Structure formats: structure tokens, C-alpha cells
A and B are shown apart, each in its own frame.
Chain A
Amino acid sequence: MKESKDKMIQMLEDMMVIREFESTVQKHFAEGEIPGFVHLYLGEEAVAVGACNALEEKDYITSTHRGHGHLLARGGDVNKMMAEIFGKATGYNKGKGGSMHIADVSLGILGANGIVGAGLPIAAGSGITSQILDTGAVTLCFFGDGASNRGTFHEAINLASIWNLPVVFVCENNMYAISMPQYRSDGRKGQNIKDVSDRAVAYGISGVTVDGNDVMAVNEAVTEAVKKARNGGGPSLVECKTYRHRGHFEGDPTVYRSDEELEEWKKKDPISRFKNLLKDQELLDDAEYDELKEKVEARIKEAVDFSQNSPDPDPSEVTTDVYYGEGV
């Protein structure tokens, strides 16, 4: 019970870190301090945290354009992350990647990817390395409902299936590919099935759909899939139904969905739900929660201070890192 309590509190804290981090990015983006595009993970925290907590250190993940949550859940350094999003030299990618490409390769993160669906074949390839070098590593591939309509989805899952690769494909179904609904009974839709996981059967792999706003449900399903993959049972597809609180990117007027729909989903907010569950089970009280919140806020504030006080990349950096280990 002690271990599971610690793990549950840790998962709550991880989700709170993502929430605070993303809310802070939202604010500084609005103030014009952050260039480019940002795609926030607000509302989807339970997926990254539930899934990444099913992994071991040697495992890998592939992330997406909405990737801050994945990196944070995998243990990313908030200072280096925020500095990258601010475009500073001290960022994870030396200011060359930004929000959409933020990654810590040493944590087994095989890039956050600006091309929707690009991570699936990369994850399959990571699975090939596990087989060829017999590493025992499992690769967890995050992708969205939008990506599930790309050819990469088909080709990568088929390859993983025929070669029995140790890959867990985690579909974050946040209901919209920008403005295109994943499924509706009538009107515009991206696909004619309610559950993306229905597609698993076509590849001869197991597929489940879970409540993506329930961190324990996500963790349980992904833990099972990871265990299966690690034991030679091959790939699985785990669909987590969730919802983004913000638009596709900051600045998206979200004309394609109603305020009522958003409010309904906010009632199912993954963090308040999990906090209430922990309180009901007497694993957390209000004072402990407030303490946690203060700690998280201080951490993110420090990350902003670090970023604001960090230098811009040197102009000479424009042409470095084009080739690995070669200056220019």
C-alpha cells in the first residue's frame, strides 16, 4: 500500500507539473515571449503520466507536436524544457527545436515530431533494435486520433505485428484533428468507427479503449501492454479517450466545438478527479495537496526565471549540428 500510495501521489504531482507548466507557457506565449507555435497538453495529463509510469528507465518513447506532457512525464528537466520553448541556448535542443521538437534523447525520447504520425515507424524501428541487440527495451509510441488516419499508422503497426516488435502504440484520442472530429454519427468526421482501437484486429494485435482522463486506468492498460511486449507478446494498441482544454494551438478560435462540450469534459478533468479519488481513499488531505501545489508552482516559476535569464543561442550555432559530431 505504501508503494502504491507513493506512486499515486507521484502521478498526481506529475500531472500537476504538466498543468502548471502548460498554463505558464500559455501565459508567456500570449505575452509574446515565445515564438512560433505551441500545442498545449492541458486536459490530457492523465495519458502521458499513466503511460510513462508503466515504463522502465531503459525504455523509449516517441512523442508528438503536443509533446511537453510526454517529456515531463518521462522526467524531463523543466528548466531545459522551458528554455527550449523560449528559444534559448540553455534549452534541451540549444534553441534549434522549440516546442514541437523538444526532446531529451538520454531519457529515451526519440524526438517530439512536428509531422503528425511520423513517430509510429520510428517506434517500430526502436523495437527492431530491441530485437537485434536483445536489449529488453519496450518502446511506447504516442500519437493522436488524427495520426491514426495516416499511412504511417498502417505501415508501422503492420510491421510491428508481423515482426512481433515490443512496441505499445498509445493513441491519445482527444476527439479532434485540429477541427476534424474523430467520429460523429453524422456530419464531418475523420473516420467511421467510434473507437480507434477497433483497428487493432486488422493487424492481429490486441486493442483496448480506456478512459484517458483516468490516470489509473491508463496506467493499468499500458502496464499490461508493456509487460506483454517485454515478454515477447508483441505490440498492442491502447486508445485513451481524452480532450484538450485548449485549441489545437494557442490562437485557435475553436469554432468547431461548443462551449458546452468543453464544460462537460472539464467536469471530467483528470487532475481534480484523481485528487478527489486520493482524498476519498484518505491518501491525501487538503494541506498535503496545497503543499504539493506550492512546490510545483515554485518549480515552474524557477524554470521561467531560468529561461528569461538565459542567453540566446550564438549566431554561429545556425550551421552546427547539421551532421552528428561534425562542426559544420
Chain B
Amino acid sequence: MSKLTYAEALREAMAEEMERDKSVFIMGEDVGVFGGCFGVTGDLVERFGEDRVRDTPITETAIVGSAVGAAMTGSRPIAEIMFAGFLGVPMDEIFNQAAKMCYMTGGQAKVPMVLRAPNGAGIGAAAQHSERTEAWFVHVPGLKVVYPSTPADAKGLLKSAVRDDNPVIFFEHKILYNHKGEVPDDKDFTIPLGKADVKREGKDLTVVATGILVTYALEAAEKLAEEGIEIEVIDPRTLVPFDKETVLDSVEKTGKLIIASEETKRGSFTSEVSAVVAEEGLFLLEQPIKRICAPDAPVPFSSALEKVYIPGPEKIISAVKEMV
């Protein structure tokens, strides 16, 4: 085990996969000598050279489109899109090309690529640089969607994403980049896509949370425990495929469900989890589901507004108290 930040864990995952498999390469804006906009690729260009850590121009469409072509011909590209809010630019390449190629060719073509995208608000970056776009991709058949909340999960899931034969949209929360945690050193450490993690066990209420909200839910759990309330915190880790069994099992135990995400509420991943639980576990619930999300508005710039906008631990605490 090593104590690494989330960003370092991601870098280590990429380095290990590039050492293991010469078809793995990185491309994106400022991922080379600059080390990545958030420093995630760091010194990888010095270790692997400019051929395998490719600095691109500002060209999101060609980054994703060429990742598709590289993946179809035997490479395993890891492409970085600088902010999740920029994913609208190469949207055709994601949802019409990467996602549909296997199906449209009747299973002939494989597209093993990873698209990394820094997600989320909290750094005063305003509306276009603070987007949380995971729900757009959850909706698209053919894509896998991954969103780790800890350094260990970041490493294990990124390695699995690189090894997967399908396009994976890999979200990373900006605030988490500097969070530290124990990370296994084993070069074969991977976490399977489609397996949720129970981050904290509890009997009174289930909180399903993604990204930074996992951290906030765990903070809330600490405080609630002081008052004798034990909440269970589940991180799906991969939004597609979604491990609904772990969630339904927990709801069966607690009878109460909160779904927490930094997304804007309407049509979010929380909507999907709610629908799945309503369809398959309605009678496990003792009372209606609560969702904790950002309001249906773009992310505001002013710190005073952004603080109100982002759902923090206190919102989880008060929602839990209303329910138990």
C-alpha cells in the first residue's frame, strides 16, 4: 500500500497500463510537457515519450474521433478532455461513433478506449468549466460510465477501463484530485466495472452517492453516528453497468433511501437510480425516496452562490433526520 492522492493514483494506473501494454497511449490538450490541466498526467511524457503521450491542439472532435479510429485498429487510447463541460464538443464522436460502432457492425468492431474528464464544481470556475455530465452518457447504450470517489478506486477502475474492450467515459471529480488514500501497489490490482462498494455499513438508512458526494455522505455519517443514527453509504463507482443488486439489498435492510449527487436534479443519474428502485424495490421502501442534488440551474461563479449551489454534508444530514 502507498498513500497517494487521487491524481497520483490515476497517473500510476496509466503508467502501469502503458508499461504492461504497448498499445496503450495517452492524448489530449496539454497532457505532455504541461502535465495536464489538473496535473494528472504529470511526468508521463518524460517516462513514455511524445509518441505515447500526445499533446493535441485544441481539437476535441479529433481527439475523440481519432481515439475511436485508434481503438478500432488495435490501440488502447486514453484520451483526456480537459473539462467535462467540453464533452458537448465531440458529442457525435462519443454517442454516434464510439458507442454504436460495435452494434452497427453486428459485433465486428471493438472500440477499447477511455475518455477521462474532470467533472464537477467547487473551484469558482463558473458554468462551462464546472459541469457534471455523467447522465448524458448513462443514457447512451454502448458506453460504460465510471466515477471513482477514492484514490484506490480511481486506480483500480482506471486500469479496468483501459483493459475493457468498450468505450468508457471516466469521470474524475476536480476536488478529489488532492484527496489522499491508501492505494494497493500490486500491478494487477483492478476493480471490476459494475461492482458497487459499500463505503460504510449502517442499518437505519441507505445513501447512494457518487463522486464528491460520497465524501460528503461519509462526513455526514460520522456526525449522524454521534447522534446514534447509522447510515449505509453506497458508491456505485460505475454508473454503467450499474450494480442495482447492492443497492436493492441495502434498501431491503434499511427501508429508506437517499440518492445524492452533485448533478443538477432533472434527468440525472439519481433519476435512474430512483426509477430502478421504484420498479424493482418499491415495497422495500417505508417512505418516499429523497434525492439530494444541485438545483436545476447552471453553476454560478460567485463563491457565495456556489456554496449554496453545491449539495454538502449538511443537506444530507438534514434529509436523513427528516426520514429516520
Asked if A and B bind, the verdict is yes
Decide if A323 is an interface residue (CB 8 Å cutoff).
Answer: yes
Q: Which of chain A's residues 287-328 have a Cβ closer than 8 Å to chain B?
A: 320-326
User: Using Cβ atoms and an 8 Å threshold, which residues of chain A touch B66?
Assistant: 121-122, 124-125, 127-128, 156, 159
Is the Cβ of A324 less than 8 Å from the Cβ of B61?
Answer: no
Decide if B43 is an interface residue (CB 8 Å cutoff).
Answer: no
10 contacts across the A-B interface (CB closer than 8 A): A104-B108, A106-B108, A110-B109, A122-B65, A125-B69, A132-B51, A152-B61, A156-B62, A162-B57, A326-B166
User: Using Cβ atoms and an 8 Å threshold, which residues of chain A touch B101?
Assistant: 111
Q: Contacts A121-B64, A323-B142; is A115 near B97 (CB within 8 Å)?
A: yes
Interface size class on chain A is: 35 or more
Given known contacts A321-B106, A323-B166, A324-B109, what 5 new A-B pairs fall within 8 Å (CB)?
A111-B104, A123-B69, A124-B65, A124-B66, A133-B75
Q: How far is the CB of B206 from chain A (nearest CB, A)?
A: 27
Chain A-chain B contacts (Cβ-Cβ < 8 Å), number: 165
Decide if A126 is an interface residue (CB 8 Å cutoff).
Answer: yes
Q: What 0/1 pattern do residues 25 to 65 of B give for CB contact below 8 A with A? A: 10100000000000000000000000110101101011011
Decide if A93 is an interface residue (CB 8 Å cutoff).
Answer: yes
Stretch among A12-20, A94-102, A225-233 lining the B interface: A94-102
Q: Contacts A129-B73, A155-B62; is A101 near B104 (CB within 8 Å)?
A: yes
Is the Cβ of A163 less than 8 Å from the Cβ of B54?
Answer: yes
Which residue on chain B has the smallest CB distance to residue A97? Answer: B104
User: Using Cβ atoms and an 8 Å threshold, which residues of chain A touch B111?
Assistant: 324
Main secondary structure of the interface of B (DSSP, over half): mixed
Max chain A Cβ within 10 angstroms of own Cβ: one of B68, B71, B107: B107
Is the Cβ of B102 less than 8 Å from the Cβ of A324?
Answer: yes
Decide if B23 is an interface residue (CB 8 Å cutoff).
Answer: yes
Where the two chains meet, the residues of A that have a C-beta atom closer than 8 Å to any C-beta of B are 60, 62, 91-97, 101, 103-106, 110-111, 113-115, 118, 120-133, 135, 137, 139, 151-152, 155-156, 158-159, 162-163, 320-326
Complex CA gap A320/B106 in Å reads: 8
Complex CA gap A123/B66 in Å reads: 7
Decide if B165 is an interface residue (CB 8 Å cutoff).
Answer: yes
Is the Cβ of A325 less than 8 Å from the Cβ of B56?
Answer: no
Q: How far is the CB of A114 from chain B (nearest CB, A)?
A: 8
Q: Which of A106, A128, A158 contacts B59 (CB 8 A)?
A: A158
Is the Cβ of A122 less than 8 Å from the Cβ of B106?
Answer: no
Complex CA gap A113/B141 in Å reads: 18
Q: Contacts A110-B73, A121-B69; is A93 near B104 (CB within 8 Å)?
A: yes
Is the Cβ of B104 less than 8 Å from the Cβ of A125?
Answer: no
Q: How far is the CB of A99 from chain B (nearest CB, A)?
A: 12
Q: Contacts A115-B92, A124-B62, A155-B61; is A110 near B69 (CB within 8 Å)?
A: yes
Q: Contacts A118-B97, A152-B65; is A105 near B108 (CB within 8 Å)?
A: yes
Q: How far is the CB of A41 from chain B (nearest CB, A)?
A: 19
Q: Which of chain B's residues 76-121 have a Cβ closer than 8 Å to chain A?
A: 77, 92-93, 96-97, 101-112
